[in-house]
Chains A and B, each alone.
Chain A
Amino acid sequence: MRMTAVRLSALYLGLFAVFAVILVFYVTGTATSLLEQQTRDTIDEEIDQLSRVYRSGGIVGLVRTIDRRARQPGASLYLMTDPSGRILAGNVESLQPGTLDDTGFTDEAFAYRRFTGSERDGRLHLAVAEVMSLPNGMRILVGRDQTEVESFRFLVRRALILALGLMGIIGLLVWFVVGRRALQRLDRMSFASARILAGDLHERLPVTGAGDEFDRLSDNLNTLLGRIALLQEGLRQVSDNIAHDLKTPLTRLRNRAENALHDAEPADASRPALEGMIGEADQMIRTFDALLMIARVEAGFHPAAKEPADISAIVADVAELYEPLAEEAGAALRVEPSPPVQLKISRELIAQALSNLLENALKYATADGRQATVRVGVEASAERCVLWVADDGPGIPAEKRGRVLERFYRLDESRSKPGSGLGLSLVQAVAQLHGGRLRLEDAAPGLKVCLDLPRDDESDGE
């Protein structure tokens, strides 16, 4: 978020600068072309007047008029030469050679020195002019000094740059006061919503009461949260109802079978069938319970309360529970010693997950009556706690490791071995419930399953 603020500021500043530069050039460009047009009009007008003077008063009248005009303060440039180029009248002392060669407007500004009577200025000035030739070969130049235009252009540009600079600084200040605050509010909102999604859906985003866009956004998000909470509650209710409605007939089925089994004579041929039915009903309910739990975890419920518990103690407990079974199956079950690791977890679910992992390990590693070693341990760092179970059985090929986490996927494609195919999915759901994940690794040989849990659970503050 902080990065966004900095990037946005830089973007604003950059765009502002580009627009400012364009504006300066546009304004000065338009202004000077306007001035140029005006200059041309004035010069045209004077040329016209001088032409009329010439027609009515001849050379003498023209010289007199030019001299008079040239002496006025702030006068235009006037120059009258004979055909050889000698100056007859006007206020120009010298000018860039070749300026008089062509009649009409000079294409570009030319340099000249102004005649200022006694004191000589001597500086070169720039001017634009129109040159007219008289029938006798004399030439008349009427021009305007460009110094004014240049200094005008300079002034405008400087004023604009100053103004824009000032605006930029004010803009930045405003940005720091208003924009950053707005972004910080957004920051706070996003943190708050992340916290809510990670924890209690009944919490709400703060509304300041100012009724501004942020309040409206908060309101909308709060409405959304309300709807999510409602949907979640609905889903919970539906799954509870499904559980009830499916389990009731299953209970009946089981009861009837049990009842029939009870009434049957010991030698009755239907006994094995009835016992099978009961077994299948039990398996069905197990699968169903596992599915229900996985679905709930995936929907974001927290079906189990978490309390601080020592993972190493759970590992020791469950390993102790399975040790005789492992021995009977021809496997050595070894617990790698580990110091106590306190973690906020559901003790039941972690134990259940570990029991699933141990049962899997024993089932696959001791298949075909081979001797196996199953190791179980806890590795804790400051941030994570990894509970692992490793066997030295056939393992799972790398390309199938992702698939075994899918629901109902079984390596044994004939599905002849007992099991629902939900064992690892359930372990994965338990991992997710604790904000962790399930990893399958190569134990070379064999399979190592790691239940990787974060140590500083965000819900610690609950």
Chain B
Amino acid sequence: MSALSATSKPMRILIVEDDREAAAYLLKALREAGHVADLAADGEEGFHLADSRDYDVLVVDRMLPQRDGLSLISALRDKGSRVPVLILSALGQVDDRVTGLRAGGDDYLPKPYAFAELLARVEVLGRRGGGSDVETAYKVGDLELDRLSHEVKRAGKAITLQPREFRLLEYMMQHAGQVVTRTMLLENVWDYHFDPQTNVIDVHISRLRSKIERDFGPPLLHTVRGAGYILRPGE
């Protein structure tokens, strides 16, 4: 599974999940991806662990014994914690995401999820706050993107992108070196959260890819099998 993890820096992750088997699988997979993961089996224990130790990311199931996931998150936020939280939920209704985010969650993943999806989201959450969001220009290899002038250049040559292609590339560059999944792209570039039956995103990616790669050197935008895409130089 380590192949799925694009970042070398390990993260400390707390999993709050009452389903033992799902938790054990998560723990094992996250550790194999090179991270340090702890497990809490109920909301009360989760709150105490999160409150007393330093984590990069929390993965919290919404329905928990003792104390449910949302109240756990609210309590943490009330105590001033800014740790990024990924909410897992079996409810999967449209408004569940909204209530989850409103309670203080940072991202939301309905069950069942693909581990690659969870890992990609956890890594993006854990790398947040690194300042990448406030930068005005990104550079990956010889590809440059200016967020203010909306100019894209590769090897000094200007590339013309449609507005949505620009947003897509901007997001990919913001998370350069990290795996981003198709649903993450749909959520962050299009701001929709439904689950398309077809691979609409793939076609957009291949269009973007042809614009930034066709007349230039080595490929930058790579497909990660079973997970999504990653933008990184070289290879």
Q: Do A and B share a complex? A: yes
- List A residues at the B interface (Cβ < 8 Å): 240, 243-244, 247-248, 250-256, 258-259, 262, 278, 281-282, 285-286, 289, 292-293, 296, 303-305, 317-318, 320-322, 324-325, 327-328, 346, 348-349, 351-352, 355-356, 359, 418-419, 423
**Which of these, A240, A250, A258, A348, contacts B115 with CB under 8 Å?**
A258
Q: CB-CB < 8 A to B92: which residues of A?
A: 243, 247, 285, 289, 292
Would you list which residues of chain B between 76 and 103 have a CB under 8 Å from chain A? Answer: 90-95, 98
Interface 9-residue window, one of B37-45, B127-135, B194-202: B194-202
Whether, in the assembled complex, B158 has its beta carbon less than 8 Å from a beta carbon of chain A, the answer is no
Which 5 pairs across A and B sit closest by C-beta, in order of nearness? A251-B112, A352-B194, A324-B203, A247-B90, A304-B94
Q: CB-CB < 8 A to A282: which residues of B?
A: 112
Whether, in the assembled complex, B164 has its beta carbon less than 8 Å from a beta carbon of chain A, the answer is yes
Contact B196 A355 (CB under 8 A): yes
Whether, in the assembled complex, B25 has its beta carbon less than 8 Å from a beta carbon of chain A, the answer is yes
The answer to whether A351 and B203 touch (CB under 8 A), given A247-B90, A247-B111, A320-B164, is: no
- Of the listed residues A247, A324, A349, the one surrounded by the most CB atoms of chain B closer than 10 A to its CB is A324
Contact B112 A247 (CB under 8 A): yes
Please give the distance in Å from B174's CB to the nearest CB on chain A: 20
Whether, in the assembled complex, B193 has its beta carbon less than 8 Å from a beta carbon of chain A, the answer is yes
Contact A251 B111 (CB under 8 A): yes
Whether, in the assembled complex, B215 has its beta carbon less than 8 Å from a beta carbon of chain A, the answer is no
**Which of these, B90, B94, B195, contacts A248 with CB under 8 Å?**
B90
Please give the distance in Å from B227's CB to the nearest CB on chain A: 11
**Which of these, B1, B94, B197, B200, contacts A349 with CB under 8 Å?**
B94
Please give the distance in Å from B144's CB to the nearest CB on chain A: 25
Q: CB-CB < 8 A to A255: which residues of B?
A: 21-22, 25, 112, 115
Name the CB-closest residue of A to B204: A324
- List B residues at the A interface (Cβ < 8 Å): 1, 19, 21-22, 25, 28-29, 63, 90-95, 98, 110-115, 164, 186, 190, 192-200, 203-204, 207
Please give the distance in Å from B32's CB to the nearest CB on chain A: 8
Q: Please, how many angstroms separate the alpha-carbon atoms of A243 and B164 in the complex? A: 35
Q: CB-CB < 8 A to B115: which residues of A?
A: 255, 258
Contact A355 B190 (CB under 8 A): no
Please give the distance in Å from A118's CB to the nearest CB on chain B: 111
**Which of these, B1, B94, B164, B186, contacts A346 with CB under 8 Å?**
B94
The answer to whether A248 and B19 touch (CB under 8 A), given A293-B93, A317-B192, is: yes
Contact B198 A359 (CB under 8 A): yes
**Which of these, A248, A256, A305, contacts B111 with CB under 8 Å?**
A248
Please give the distance in Å from B26's CB to the nearest CB on chain A: 8
Q: 12 additional contacts, CB 8 Å, given A248-B19, A252-B21, A254-B112?
A: A247-B111, A250-B111, A252-B25, A254-B114, A255-B22, A255-B115, A321-B186, A324-B200, A327-B203, A351-B194, A355-B196, A359-B197
- Of the listed residues B93, B195, B199, the one surrounded by the most CB atoms of chain A closer than 10 A to its CB is B93
Name the CB-closest residue of B to A262: B1
- Of the listed residues B21, B28, B200, the one surrounded by the most CB atoms of chain A closer than 10 A to its CB is B200
- Of the listed residues A254, A255, A259, the one surrounded by the most CB atoms of chain B closer than 10 A to its CB is A255
**Which of these, B190, B198, B203, contacts A317 with CB under 8 Å?**
B190
Q: Please, how many angstroms separate the alpha-carbon atoms of A26 and B177 in the complex? A: 105
**Interface pairs (16), CB distance under 8 Å:** A244-B90, A248-B19, A250-B112, A251-B90, A252-B19, A252-B21, A252-B22, A255-B21, A282-B112, A289-B92, A289-B110, A303-B94, A304-B94, A304-B95, A355-B194, A423-B197
Q: CB-CB < 8 A to A248: which residues of B?
A: 19, 22, 90, 111
Contact A243 B198 (CB under 8 A): no
Contact A325 B200 (CB under 8 A): yes
- Of the listed residues A292, A303, A346, A348, the one surrounded by the most CB atoms of chain B closer than 10 A to its CB is A348
Please give the distance in Å from B214's CB to the nearest CB on chain A: 16
Contact B194 A325 (CB under 8 A): no
Contact B194 A285 (CB under 8 A): no
Contact B19 A322 (CB under 8 A): no
Contact B207 A324 (CB under 8 A): yes
**Which of these, B25, B91, B113, B196, contacts A244 with CB under 8 Å?**
B91
Q: Please, how many angstroms separate the alpha-carbon atoms of A255 and B113 in the complex? A: 8
Name the CB-closest residue of B to A351: B192
Q: Please, how many angstroms separate the alpha-carbon atoms of A325 and B207 in the complex? A: 11
Q: Please, how many angstroms separate the alpha-carbon atoms of A148 and B215 in the complex? A: 127
The answer to whether A281 and B93 touch (CB under 8 A), given A251-B19, A252-B19, is: no
Contact A325 B203 (CB under 8 A): yes
The answer to whether A359 and B19 touch (CB under 8 A), given A303-B93, A304-B94, is: no
Q: Please, how many angstroms separate the alpha-carbon atoms of A217 and B11 in the complex? A: 64
Contact A359 B192 (CB under 8 A): no
Q: CB-CB < 8 A to B1: which residues of A?
A: 262
Q: CB-CB < 8 A to B113: which residues of A?
A: 251
Q: Please, how many angstroms separate the alpha-carbon atoms of A247 and B110 in the complex? A: 10
Q: CB-CB < 8 A to B164: which residues of A?
A: 320
Name the CB-closest residue of B to A255: B25
Q: Please, how many angstroms separate the alpha-carbon atoms of A296 and B91 in the complex? A: 12
Q: Please, how many angstroms separate the alpha-carbon atoms of A301 and B108 in the complex? A: 22
Q: Please, how many angstroms separate the alpha-carbon atoms of A317 and B194 in the complex? A: 13
**Which of these, B63, B95, B111, B196, contacts A359 with CB under 8 Å?**
B196
Q: CB-CB < 8 A to A296: which residues of B?
A: 93
Q: Please, how many angstroms separate the alpha-carbon atoms of A286 and B98 in the complex? A: 19
Q: CB-CB < 8 A to B200: which residues of A?
A: 321-322, 324-325
Q: CB-CB < 8 A to B192: which residues of A?
A: 317-318, 321, 348, 351-352
Contact B112 A328 (CB under 8 A): no
Please give the distance in Å from B134's CB to the nearest CB on chain A: 26
Q: Please, how many angstroms separate the alpha-carbon atoms of A61 and B92 in the complex? A: 122
Q: Please, how many angstroms separate the alpha-carbon atoms of A114 and B107 in the complex? A: 117
Q: Please, how many angstroms separate the alpha-carbon atoms of A419 and B93 in the complex? A: 20
Q: CB-CB < 8 A to A247: which residues of B?
A: 90, 92, 111-112
Q: Please, how many angstroms separate the alpha-carbon atoms of A114 and B108 in the complex? A: 115
Please give the distance in Å from B40's CB to the nearest CB on chain A: 17
Q: CB-CB < 8 A to A240: which residues of B?
A: 91
Q: CB-CB < 8 A to B22: which residues of A?
A: 248, 251-252, 255
Q: CB-CB < 8 A to A304: which residues of B?
A: 93-95
The answer to whether A348 and B114 touch (CB under 8 A), given A247-B92, A324-B203, is: no
Q: CB-CB < 8 A to B21: which residues of A?
A: 252, 255
Please give the distance in Å from A361's CB to the nearest CB on chain B: 12
Name the CB-closest residue of B to A278: B114
